[in-house]
């Protein structure tokens, strides 16, 4: 199995997103791909434009919540989808990221649904005993 990956998990009305990686930053980046995959397959999106994203929280869970909501905000206000994310997190909890994507093309992307926001449901950022990080929450659609 790849070391970096994303997956969706069960919620009755909405959908859970999860990113997995040996490091926290890439777990956040993978979870961002899981978010995009709720809307359209990330591989359908071309990396034509760059967008910088910043957020800050001391607590990892709240930082992840802020990160997912920051991407949702960029999708909503720029009318863009993304296909790649690079994330850096400072010890003070300052997240600096770059996202690559393109404007939404409804006929090509066939966006399944609009994501309204990250939620606290199943919100968790943790490292397992093998050192693998996971970052997850349910998103409201």
Partner 1 sequence: MDIRQLTRVHEWKWIIPATGKMKVPAVFYANQALLEDMDQKVYEQIVNVTTLPGIVEAAFAMPDAHWGYGFPIGGVAAFDPEQGGVISAGGVGFDIACGVRTLLTGLTAQDINPLQERVADSLFRDIPAGLGSTGDIRLSSAEMDAMLAGGARWAVQQGYGEKEDLEHLEEKGCMAGARPDLVSAQAKKRQRDEMGTLGSGNHYLEVQQVADIYDPEVARVFQIQKGDILVSLHCGSRGLGHQIGSEYLKKMAQTASGYGIDLPDRELACSPIKSPLGQEYLGVMRAAINCAMANRQIITHLTRQTLGRLFPGIKLSLLYDVAHNTCKEEEHIIRGKPKNLFVHRKGATRAFGPGHPSLPPAFQQVGQPVIIGGTMGTSSYILVGTQENMELSLGSACHGAGRSMSRKQASRQWRGVDIIQSLREKGIIVRSVSKKGVAEEAPDAYKDVNQVVDAAEQAHLVRRVLRMKPLVCIKG
Residues forming the site for partner 1 (CB under 8 A)? 8, 10-15, 39, 62, 65-66, 69, 72-73, 75-77, 79, 103-104, 106, 110-114, 116-121, 123, 138, 140-141
Find the shortest distance in angstroms from Cβ 55 to partner 1.
11
Instruction: Return the HEC string of the chain.
Output: CCCCEEEEECCCCCEEEEEEECCHHHHHHHHHHHHHHHHCCHHHCCCCEEEEEEEECCCHHHHHHHHHHHHHHHHHHHCEEEEEEEEEECCCCEEEEEEEEEECCHHHHCCCCCCCEECCCCCEEEECCCCCEEEEEEEEC
Find the shortest distance in angstroms from Cβ 1 to partner 1.
20
Token pair 């802020």: residue: 66
**Which CB, 38 or 89, lies closer to partner 1?**
38
**Which CB, 26 or 101, lies closer to partner 1?**
101
**Which CB, 26 or 68, lies closer to partner 1?**
68
Find the shortest distance in angstroms from Cβ 2 to partner 1.
21
Neighbours of 86 (CB within 10 A): 13
Find the shortest distance in angstroms from Cβ 115 to partner 1.
8
Find the shortest distance in angstroms from Cβ 118 to partner 1.
7
């Amino acid at each position: 199995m790849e070391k970096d990956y994303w997956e969706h998990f069960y919620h009755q009305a909405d959908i859970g997103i999860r990113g997995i990686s040996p490091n926290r930053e890439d777990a956040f980046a993978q979870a961002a791909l899981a978010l995009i995959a709720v809307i359209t397959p990330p591989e359908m999106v071309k990396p034509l434009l760059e967008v910088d994203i910043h957020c800050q929280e001391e607590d990892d869970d709240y930082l992840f919540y802020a990160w997912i909501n920051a991407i949702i905000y960029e999708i909503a206000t720029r009318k863009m989808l993304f296909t790649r994310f690079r994330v850096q997190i400072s010890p003070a909890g300052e997240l600096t990221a770059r996202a690559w994507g393109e404007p939404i093309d409804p006929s090509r992307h066939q966006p399944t649904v609009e994501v309204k926001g990250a939620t606290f449901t199943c919100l968790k950022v943790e490292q397992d005993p093998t050192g693998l990080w996971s970052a997850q929450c349910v998103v409201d659609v």
